[in-house]
Structure 1
Amino acid sequence: MDVKETRYRVTGMDCAACAAKIETAVSRLPGVARVSVSTTAGMMRVAHAGEAAFLPAMKTQLGRLGYGVFPADGDKLGADDRGRDRDHRHDRDHGQADAHSHEAGDGQGAWWSTRKGMFTIGCGLALGVAYGIGRLYPPVEWWAFLAALAVGLLPVASRALAAARAGTPFSIETLMTIAAIGAVVIGASEEAAAVVFLFLVGERLEGVAAGRARASIRSLATLVPKTAYVERNGAVEEVPAASLSVGATILVRPGDRIAADGEIAEGDSAIDEAPVTGESVPVRKQAGDAVFAGTINADAVLRVRMTAAAADNTIARVVKLVEEAQESKAPTERFIDRFSKYYTPAVLVLGALVAVLPPLVAGASWSEWVYKGLAILLIGCPCALVISTPAAIAAALSAGARRGLLIKGGAILEALGSIDAMVLDKTGTLTEGKPRVTDIIAIGRSEANLLSMAAALETGSSHPLALAILDRAKADKVPVPPASEAFALRGKGVAGKVGGKEIFLGSPAAAAERITLSPEQLRRIAAFNDEGKSVSVLIAAGEPAGIIAMRDEPRADAQSGLAALRAAGVEPVMLTGDNRRTAVTIAKDLGLPMHAEMLPQDKQRIVRELRAAGKKVAKVGDGINDAPALAAADVGIAMGGGTDVALETADAAVLHGRVGDLAAMIELSRRALSNIHQNIAVALGLKAVFLVTTIAGITGLWPAILADTGATVVVTANAMRMLAWQPRAARG
């Protein structure tokens, strides 16, 4: 029977312990070959056979544990789904002690409106009532706190039993249930009730934090308007953006958000890309320029031709890819997951030994040491430890994506922090990827007249050098007269008539076949060539009319971006397939070591040599021609403007083409790693302190549960700080 892999969205997960229970429960179903669950993404991947009967069986299995499950593809848990899910589980779980019914952790409802939220509130109120009754009627105090304990413990114990049946006997709920029942047995019902209440509060805090992490990236989707304006039969009509197809032209008024990825067909306006890219300065765009969905048209009416459907715009693809990235576990996270499988049973054994050995061996008080053993069970709850890594990674991936830094998973995020060498392509990475006119030397006429004639010949051409001349003519606002009898001369240039004069524009070698260039003109051409510039000579009526030099210039932030890399301890190196003279010029301008005239296999060889020398290497390129080198590097980074190539290839992508973003990506990784180390230190440090103080008799059950709940709160809050991360350049 064929095995297929399917993605599912799981509702109700609060922490990594939930993921472990779900993974174990689903793996026990018939036909399941492999299961992978991500708490941070709220997603599950299952390789299984027998699809028709599989989903109902899985829903039943997870329903017993209190989780909801839906196919991830399709409408992504729309409002109708949520209603059906709520109704379905209400009927199924009527009378069940607890169900994770659209928790705050899923971002689909206020925490107090969920069953777990209601149980938490109920337990808190019952605890308060029991305290009051105990003060008014001391003889019934024990029973009052026992009743308050039952309100909170019954749902916890129910989940512990369901988890044990599903293959997870050593769950956090099991530790809590044993500790609470044991406390009642030794007469500490007041503390037991308080401990269970604090545990439920901790769960709710975890759920809220998980929901915030998941919602942080999905909130990007809300930037894209649901409707768009189109012109039909002379009237403007508002239609659902999802109903429009590629090639449709939409009208974008000043102040409107652009409803789809596209290309400006008509108009000239400033585009505020801050909501998508974090770029604070609006970008001026005109006909032919690409625009992103979700950006804001600032000051003029635009007509935009759609290049991607609403479901496939840049933001939608970023959201999907980041959600998938959150499903992949970092090495640290995988280690902690493995560690926690042995950690919880070990805590049970340690608690039992502390409770039993001193009374048996040394004749110590049973009640005193059983109390200490129960406290150790609470100290040992692994919540804070298992959430320490995934929470920080999820927040970092989301923060990066909101600034155009797409990192495909925790493993890549960790690897970026150790990079100490970065190999960068020249064209399109360090440079703009398109030539610009840098020098105009007019002979016997004005620069404007020279540019006007050159632009007339190049009108309609798509050659990069022709586009550079046309862009300069447009920028300088020079008139472009019509050309007649224009034709291209393969490998030489273009010729035609402008204003009745025979005009030729081509390479210096082709021009030298027609006229004699002076020594001074030849010297200037040679100097331009030495600077890595392409040179065109214009001939009018058999006489030299001027020289135009063009070059693919470094990006505006190339110098500062490379300086930021060096400041971060990363050594940049330039590789290019371009000619050595051009490469030397660019490398000299940027202060870079370089290798020129490289074939794809040569670039791969350089990367391997750097790695063999002990370097951790990142390769930055366009994601197509550099595939061998990207694959050979520790991390492959695609530089692009939100294109399919930039999004779908390599391990990471800088979507907005800024060299400075490369250093920002390294900074984000190192900040995330620092955050993870802080979280682990807090989680383990607090446990170690309270373990010692509990055995010494200084602290008891209350501080024990606070050691876990408090650590979980601190760890989660610290991880969520990553959501507000800004690159150092933006901060200062």
Structure 2
Amino acid sequence: MKTNKKVLTDAAAECSCTALQASSHSREHQHIHEHDHSGEHGHVHDAGCELDEELCHIGGCPCCGGHEEEHDHGHEHEHSAGKWDVAVVILSTLLLGGYFLIPIPWLQAAAALCSILVAGAPIIWDGLKGVMKLRPDENFLMTVAVAAAFLIGEYPEAMLVTILFRLGNVLEGVAVGRSKRQIEAITAIRPEYANLLDESGAAREVKAREVPVGSLILIKAGEKVPLDCVVLEGASDVDTAALTGESVPRPAQPETKLMSGMINLNGSLKCRTLSTFEDSAASTIIKLVRESAAQKGTTEKFISRFATIYTPVVVLLAVLIALVPPLLNLGTFTTWLMRALVFLVASCPCAMVISIPLSFFSGIGAASKQGVLIKGSRFVESLSKLKCVVFDKTGTLTTGSLMVDQVTPFGVSEEEVMRLAALCESYSDHPVARAVCAYAPGMTGAVEATEEMPGKGIRVILEGSEVLCGSKKLMDDFGVDTAKAPEANVYVARDGVLLGAIILSDQLRPDAAATISALKAAGVEKVALLTGDGRNAALKAKAAAGLDEAFYELLPGDKVSHLAELARQYGATAFVGDGINDAPVLARADVGVAMGLGSDAAISAADVVLVSDRLGALESAVRLSKRTMSIATFNMIFAIAVKALVLILGALGYAAMWMAVFADVGVTVLCVLNAARILGAKS
């Protein structure tokens, strides 16, 4: 059904027509866009593209920045086209009724021809174009069936086929159009304009893509954040649902970082931009969503190849059904020709060709609404089959923020150890120093001199004494004995005597343990940790999160080796990480999952991005992928089963033409509606 295919493939074009800096997994195809000075754009289709050329030329391509006016016009056109289809169906049905009221044979034939042309003109035209391009499709099958029925005088059958086929187009267009609009909403998160502040503080509206990094902008209440930025003045609540799927607004105040696409709810914010329009979070998300169509899964590839081979085979079988039995004196030619026509109508592969890709687009769209970007249907398949999930530690399984976990004093109070440590570390900007100072703020003392030793710690003359605060290596350099102390991140000594040891730890994410438990409940057999951290930190994280195994003190290359071994043992494996050093292992995994929109290298290498920075989103993505695969598989089996039944009954003479039409348009509508259910999935 070409009309229906166009509706679906508008949505496909939203996600597929782009020349991106693809991930390390994807260079399957590219589309090239060219702009002229009038703002219209041409589309040069890559001959190597797996998608039909038609898919890339339908309804203004949004991939080069999107034109809201064109999209609005497109929706109006779609609405009026739907009304026209309904009018055509009504008129054709009236002509069908008139056929039975007219007693004159030639007037009956004229009424039948008018009804067929009114309802079936676009079908016939598209069928002929397909043949001229040597790509016969379902429209060609329908055209042959209608023409043959008309020529042998079966006028009611010919009219009924075209009317039901066109009615199926209307119903299917409504279902697919609804799904398309929901998918389109994913790419509508990026505002095109920003309020740029000049030196006098006056704001003027400019195109967001023209605002350089470091500019001052004003974000008014109710406006979308146009560019990644940091708040300088003002306070408000910010809706992050479009990016992260989180329903509860976040507070925004000075020093809060905002991502483009968020919505400022109730207060004006003066901000400094941190990115260009093209590099903003919203642009990154849109690119990743559009990139998803480039990664076709096994199921989609099968359907594409199936449809290519299926049509000519069906035509050949229909010819054999029409000709061979009469030649063997098994019945009249007219009887077997009608059976062949039923066979042709029932055989149209629309249900699979349309509903299977729609299932995956719906799954990817639903995941995007929950703050999970999946780069293609093949990763939906991989997520649904996961047997092993491997986590990085710092910034992934943990928050990445160090906190004082334990203080062990020797001969002095714990408070004195922390006072000395905080006074020393107040002269350093190291993450360890910030954690110590945060634990013991407001400490006082007479500091006379400081000397920072990179990689070791700091030496301070405090109240007439030499105080050392730093690593074991610093203590060793100054001859301080640490044998009685536990292994720690920070040691404190005064005048050569050890006073205390401070152990810091990276805090586990609040939802880490629950996520790992949920992954196991969803069918994941093994959950492991790969980290460059030491043994104690790794084992502590393993116990707290409920992991099965932990590997520690690993270099990036070691992580790749361990992941490969786990994949060999358990099968489909995902790696979850966030840093530049995770890029190699993200690329090696069956599914690479990047946390947040941090490292460009990690995002580029990953197949799934958790925009929300919530570990729980991974479990939601796994369950959604399983649901998507379940619906896609059901649609495929259901469509094949119904068609096979009607084809057999049709060949044996037990199936009427209305049954054949149901096997085509009826099954297609049911499968499309079933696929659209995915968009209602909750996190």
Q: 1:287 to 1:213 in 2, by over 3 A?
A: same
Give 2:530's match in structure 1, choosing from 572, 575, 578: 575
Q: 1:238 to 1:57 in 2, by over 3 A?
A: closer
Identity of aligned residues (%): 31
Q: 1:195 to 1:42 in 2, by over 3 A?
A: farther
Indicate yes or no: 2:451 matched with 1:468.
Answer: no
* 1:132 Cα deviation from its structure 2 partner: 4.6
* 1:680 Cα deviation from its structure 2 partner: 0.4
Contact 1:40 / 1:210 at 8 angstroms: preserved in 2? no
Q: Which runs of 5+ in 1 are unaligned?
A: 1-11, 23-36, 84-101, 103-107, 728-732
Give 1:272's match in structure 2, choosing from 227, 233, 239: 239
Contact 1:149 / 1:196 at 8 angstroms: preserved in 2? yes
Contact 1:396 / 1:672 at 8 angstroms: preserved in 2? yes
Give 2:647's match in structure 1, choosing from 691, 696, 721: 691
Q: Give the Cα–Cα distance (whole angstroms) in 1 for the partners of residues 406 and 119 of structure 2.
A: 78
Aligned ranges 1:174-573 → 2 under 5 Å: 174-240=140-206, 241-252=208-219, 256-266=223-233, 270-284=237-251, 287-297=254-264, 302-439=269-406, 457-459=424-426, 461-472=428-439, 478=442, 485-496=449-460, 505-507=469-471, 510=474, 525-526=485-486, 529=487, 534-537=489-492, 548-570=502-524, 571-573=526-528
One-letter amino acid of the counterpart of residue 555, structure 2: L
Superposition RMSD on alpha carbons, in Å? 4.1
Q: Which runs of 5+ in 2 are unaligned?
A: 19-28, 47-51
Q: Give the Cα–Cα distance (whole angstroms) in 2 for the partners of residues 214 and 644 of structure 1.
A: 29
Contact 1:40 / 1:390 at 8 angstroms: preserved in 2? no
Give 1:678's match in structure 2, choosing from 623, 630, 634: 634
Range that drifts further, 383-392 or 301-310: 301-310
One-letter amino acid of the counterpart of residue 90, structure 2: L
Give 1:130's match in structure 2, choosing from 95, 105, 108: 95
Counterpart of 2:612 in 1: which secondary structure? coil
Contact 2:245 / 2:612 at 8 angstroms: preserved in 1? no
Q: Give the Cα–Cα distance (whole angstroms) in 1 for the partners of residues 244 and 163 of structure 2.
A: 43
Q: Give the Cα–Cα distance (whole angstroms) in 2 for the partners of residues 634 and 74 of structure 1.
A: 30
Q: 1:336 to 1:514 in 2, by over 3 A?
A: closer
* 1:133 Cα deviation from its structure 2 partner: 2.9
* 1:718 Cα deviation from its structure 2 partner: 1.1
Indicate yes or no: 2:74 matched with 1:76.
Answer: no
The higher-RCO structure (CA 8 Å, 6+ apart) is 2
Counterpart of 2:594 in 1: which secondary structure? strand
Give 2:5's match in structure 1, choosing from 3, 15, 29: 15
Q: Give the Cα–Cα distance (whole angstroms) in 2 for the partners of residues 110 and 469 of structure 1.
A: 63
Q: Give the Cα–Cα distance (whole angstroms) in 1 for the partners of residues 44 and 472 of structure 2.
A: 75
Contact 2:203 / 2:218 at 8 angstroms: preserved in 1? no
Q: 1:398 to 1:112 in 2, by over 3 A?
A: closer
Residue deviations 1:121-145 (CA, integer Å, cap 9, x gap): 3431322331453465443444323
Give 1:171's match in structure 2, choosing from 133, 137, 141: 137
Q: 1:200 to 1:191 in 2, by over 3 A?
A: same
Contact 2:471 / 2:491 at 8 angstroms: preserved in 1? yes
Counterpart of 1:626 in 2: which secondary structure? helix
Give the paired residue count: 657
Q: Give the Cα–Cα distance (whole angstroms) in 2 for the partners of residues 516 and 632 of structure 1.
A: 45
TM-score (norm 1): 0.78
Aligned ranges 1:591-610 → 2 under 5 Å: 591-592=546-547, 593-610=549-566
1:143 aligns to what? 110
* 1:674 Cα deviation from its structure 2 partner: 0.5
* 1:509 Cα deviation from its structure 2 partner: 6.7
Q: 1:113 to 1:557 in 2, by over 3 A?
A: same
Q: 1:175 to 1:414 in 2, by over 3 A?
A: same
Q: Give the Cα–Cα distance (whole angstroms) in 2 for the partners of residues 470 and 301 of structure 1.
A: 33
Q: 1:64 to 1:402 in 2, by over 3 A?
A: closer
Q: Give the Cα–Cα distance (whole angstroms) in 1 for the partners of residues 103 and 671 of structure 2.
A: 39
Residue deviations 1:50-103 (CA, integer Å, cap 9, x gap): 999x969989xx9999955877753435536998xxxxxxxxxxxxxxxxxx5x
Contact 1:354 / 1:370 at 8 angstroms: preserved in 2? yes
Q: Give the Cα–Cα distance (whole angstroms) in 1 for the partners of residues 437 and 239 of structure 2.
A: 26
Q: Give the Cα–Cα distance (whole angstroms) in 2 for the partners of residues 66 and 556 of structure 1.
A: 44
1:43 aligns to what? 17
Residue deviations 1:496-532 (CA, integer Å, cap 9, x gap): 5789998654346746988989x9xx86x52xx3xxx
Q: Give the Cα–Cα distance (whole angstroms) in 2 for the partners of residues 550 and 64 of structure 1.
A: 59
* 1:643 Cα deviation from its structure 2 partner: 4.5
Counterpart of 1:293 in 2: which secondary structure? coil
Q: 1:70 to 1:724 in 2, by over 3 A?
A: closer
* 1:560 Cα deviation from its structure 2 partner: 0.8
* 1:467 Cα deviation from its structure 2 partner: 2.6
One-letter amino acid of the counterpart of residue 580, structure 2: I
Q: Give the Cα–Cα distance (whole angstroms) in 1 for the partners of residues 53 and 474 of structure 2.
A: 78
Q: Give the Cα–Cα distance (whole angstroms) in 2 for the partners of residues 615 and 704 of structure 1.
A: 43
* 1:227 Cα deviation from its structure 2 partner: 4.0
* 1:311 Cα deviation from its structure 2 partner: 3.5
Counterpart of 1:625 in 2: which secondary structure? helix
One-letter amino acid of the counterpart of residue 607, structure 2: D
Q: 1:376 to 1:242 in 2, by over 3 A?
A: same
Give 1:622's match in structure 2, choosing from 578, 582, 604: 578
* 1:118 Cα deviation from its structure 2 partner: 6.4
* 1:269 Cα deviation from its structure 2 partner: 5.6
Counterpart of 2:508 in 1: which secondary structure? coil
Range that drifts further, 584-593 or 204-213: 204-213
* 1:640 Cα deviation from its structure 2 partner: 3.1
* 1:488 Cα deviation from its structure 2 partner: 1.3
2:672 aligns to what? 716
One-letter amino acid of the counterpart of residue 458, structure 2: V
One-letter amino acid of the counterpart of residue 356, structure 2: T
Residue deviations 1:338-390 (CA, integer Å, cap 9, x gap): 12222111221222233333333234233333222111111001110212321
* 1:40 Cα deviation from its structure 2 partner: 7.5
* 1:265 Cα deviation from its structure 2 partner: 3.8
Contact 1:432 / 1:552 at 8 angstroms: preserved in 2? yes
Q: 1:446 to 1:573 in 2, by over 3 A?
A: closer
Q: Give the Cα–Cα distance (whole angstroms) in 1 for the partners of residues 671 and 259 of structure 2.
A: 36
Q: Give the Cα–Cα distance (whole angstroms) in 2 for the partners of residues 534 and 586 of structure 1.
A: 16
Q: 1:301 to 1:126 in 2, by over 3 A?
A: closer
Contact 1:261 / 1:290 at 8 angstroms: preserved in 2? yes
Q: Give the Cα–Cα distance (whole angstroms) in 1 for the partners of residues 582 and 337 of structure 2.
A: 64
Counterpart of 2:675 in 1: which secondary structure? helix
Q: 1:17 to 1:384 in 2, by over 3 A?
A: farther
Contact 1:255 / 1:299 at 8 angstroms: preserved in 2? yes
Counterpart of 1:391 in 2: which secondary structure? helix
Q: Give the Cα–Cα distance (whole angstroms) in 2 for the partners of residues 63 and 618 of structure 1.
A: 34
Contact 1:199 / 1:705 at 8 angstroms: preserved in 2? yes
Residue deviations 1:268-289 (CA, integer Å, cap 9, x gap): 6654322321223344565544
* 1:322 Cα deviation from its structure 2 partner: 1.4
Q: Give the Cα–Cα distance (whole angstroms) in 1 for the partners of residues 14 and 357 of structure 2.
A: 6
